Amino acid sequence: MLFEKITLIDENFDVKENMFVATEKDKIAYISQLPPQKDYGQKICGKNKLLTNGWFNCHTHLPMTLLRGYAENLKLQDWLNTKVFPFEAKMNEEDVYYAALLGIAEMFRFGTVSATEMYFHPLSILEAAKKAGIKLNLCTGTTEFGDGGLKDNKNFNEELDLHERCSKMGNDKIKADFSLHSEYITTEKIVKELGEYLKGKNERVHVHVSETKKETDECIARHGLTPTAYLEKCGIMNAKVNAAHSVWLTDEDLSIYKANGVTAVHNPMSNLKLGSGFARIEKMLEMGINVALGTDGVASNNNFNLFEDLRFAAIMHNPLNENYSVINPKTLVKMGTLNGAYSQDRCDCGCIKEGNKADFAIYDLNEVSMKPCHNLLNSFVYSMPGGAVLMTVVDGEIVYGNGKFTTIDIDDVIRKTEQSRKRILSEI
Ligand SMILES: [Zn+2]
């Protein structure tokens, strides 16, 4: 594929106009102001179009699409205990498969190419991701309520199985991570055993950290430590950690993040919706902590349009901060792309550069919300509607284009998820 005379956001997150961008197999093969000598096949006119790296959504629960709009106007603990957990208890493997496909379709619709996913029935999600062609880092969200050890833990064993399956797939499009759901629904025994297991291994752990004040206060009451300090004490920092939410962090917690290369995954919409609080994003960025973006599940968002999170991240911290310039458009686009790729160990992804994986989205610059345009990067972050995505490409494959999903039978998926929704409600 060759895009001719297209505007792009380059590897330094600067805007360049009238560029030629070609893909070959799964890679970006050519970027220049001059047309290539070589024939790259199909030619696409780039006039009034913007090409940017696709989004990396780094904290998701894909199958929660089934709960979209089901539980509103509740605080997190009530939301979880009275609505989410009873509904999820009725979700079977088939429900999870189709709900995950629906979520992936929504991601493609809004230019997302990769997700860091945590949910149960992981094999159903693995199959959905393989069918759809999304990049995915997958884990189960390990929980432990009893006094069992790690080797008998169902989630841990599922993750070992995922590691084996992913390593046999012959590419790194889908990767297995390890996980802890959180401090509050695991035991110290199991967290320590996981820390010990991870020693000397080059693994990633996905975990909810200090999402709410209540969670943080209760952890301090239980262990005498913040969730971050507790995870460090238990050896979890032996792994590379993706810490979802990271809202109630102390200065010491931030130092632990910095010292251990923890990625803080900012979930602005979810944090506002559930009243969780304001993560210290400016401070993290000033300290050089890697900050990525996530939507969380759509029950707490309520969609997979990462643009909205980008925009909320851009403005929600202003009332608390003197300096409005730290979270600027360039930084935000980087948070939604390159920082996310880093947090998934995808070193050839996350920005538009020759040799990188061809993961990008094409936007319509004729959108009325983009007119007039003083500064394209500003307008991209503050004005571009997610619906302006014309095409989403993962590893050189068009997964969404001309209003159609090429890998997902969306009518069937909508039909199946509606059947699941009705059945589950009838069983609760
Ligand atoms: Zn979550």
Give the mean pLDDT of 154-162.
98
Query: Is 413 part of any domain?
Result: no
pLDDT at residue 75 in the model: 81
CA of 205 to the centre of ligand 1 (A): 14
Separation of 112 CA from ligand 1 center, angstroms?
18
User: Which tokens go with 202?
Assistant: 């080059």
Question: Is the same domain home to 244 and 115?
Answer: yes
Other beta carbons within 10 angstroms of residue 36's beta carbon come to 15
Q: Which of 49-63, 71-85, 219-233 has the lowest mean pLDDT?
A: 71-85
206 and 142: one domain?
yes
Show the 3-state SS of the chain: CEEEEEEEECCCCCEEEEEEEEEECCEEEEEECCCCCCCCCCEEECCCEEEEECEEEEEECHHHHHHCCCCCCCCHHHHHHHHHHHHHCCCCHHHHHHHHHHHHHHHHHCCEEEEEEECCCHHHHHHHHHHHCCEEEEECCCCCCCCCCHHHCHHHHHHHHHHHHHHCCCCCCEEECEEECCCCCCCHHHHHHHHHHHCCCCCEEEEEECCCHHHHHHHHHHHCCCHHHHHHHCCHHHCEEEEEECCCCCHHHHHHHHHHCCEEEECHHHHHHCCCCCCCHHHHHHHCCEEEECCCCHHHCCCCCHHHHHHHHHHCCHHHCCCCCCCCHHHHHHHHCHHHHHHCCCCCCCCCCCCCECCEEEEECCCHHHCCCCCHHHHHHHCCCHHHEEEEEECCEEEEECCEECCCCHHHHHHHHHHHHHHHHHHC
Same domain, 300 and 176: yes
Total domains, the chain: 2
In this structure, are 137 and 219 located in the same domain?
Answer: yes
CA of 296 to the centre of ligand 1 (A): 5
Q: How far is the CA of 295 from the centre of ligand 1 (A)?
A: 9
Predicted confidence (pLDDT) per residue in 329-341, tens digit? 999 999 999 999 9
What pLDDT does residue 239 have? 96
Confidence of residue 322 (pLDDT cuts 50, 70, 90): confident
> Separation of 285 CA from ligand 1 center, angstroms?
22
pLDDT tens, residue by residue, 37-55: 999 999 999 999 999 999 9
Q: Are residues 100 and 63 in the same domain?
A: yes
Q: What is the per-residue pLDDT across 237-251, written as a single tens digit (0 to 9) for each?
A: 989 999 999 999 999
Task: Collect residues with CB below 5 Å from ion ligand 1.
Answer: 296
Claim to verify: residue 262 and residue 322 sit in the same structural domain: yes
CA of 233 to the centre of ligand 1 (A): 23
Inside any domain, residue 423: no
| Structural domain includes residue 415 | no
In this predicted structure, the answer to whether residue 365 has a pLDDT above a threshold of 80 is: yes
Of 343, 359, 379, the last residue of a domain is 343
CA of 375 to the centre of ligand 1 (A): 34
Same structural domain for residues 32 and 74?
no
- Domain co-membership, 166 together with 290: yes
- Domain-embedded: residue 410: no
CATH of the domain at 46: 2.30.40.10
Identify whether residues 248 and 325 lie together within a single domain.
Answer: yes
Q: How far is the CA of 417 from the centre of ligand 1 (A)?
A: 21
Which CATH number characterizes residue 141's domain?
A: 3.20.20.140
Q: State the average pLDDT for the chain.
A: 96
Whole-number Å distance, alpha carbon 76 to ligand 1 midpoint, is: 11
pLDDT value at position 351?
98
Is pLDDT at 132 greater than 90 in this prediction? yes
Centre of ligand 1 from the C-alpha of residue 60, in Å: 6
pTM greater than 0.95? yes
CA of 3 relative to ligand 1 center, distance in Å: 37
**Are both 45 and 125 inside the same structural domain?**
no
Determine what percent of the chain is predicted with pLDDT higher than 70: 100
- 67-122 pLDDT tens trace: 999 989 888 788 889 999 999 999 999 999 999 999 999 999 999 999 999 999 99
Domain-embedded: residue 149: yes
**Residue 59 Cα to ligand 1 middle (Å):** 6
For residue 421, being part of any structural domain is answered with: no
The identity of residue 267, as a single letter, is: N
Q: Are residues 196 and 139 in the same domain?
A: yes
Give the range of the structural domain holding residue 11, as residue numbers without chain letter. Answer: 2-53+351-405
208 CA to centre of ligand 1 in angstroms = 6
pLDDT in tens, 279-293: 999 999 999 999 999
Q: Is residue 411 part of a domain?
A: no
The answer to whether the bond into 57 is cis (omega within 30° of 0) is no
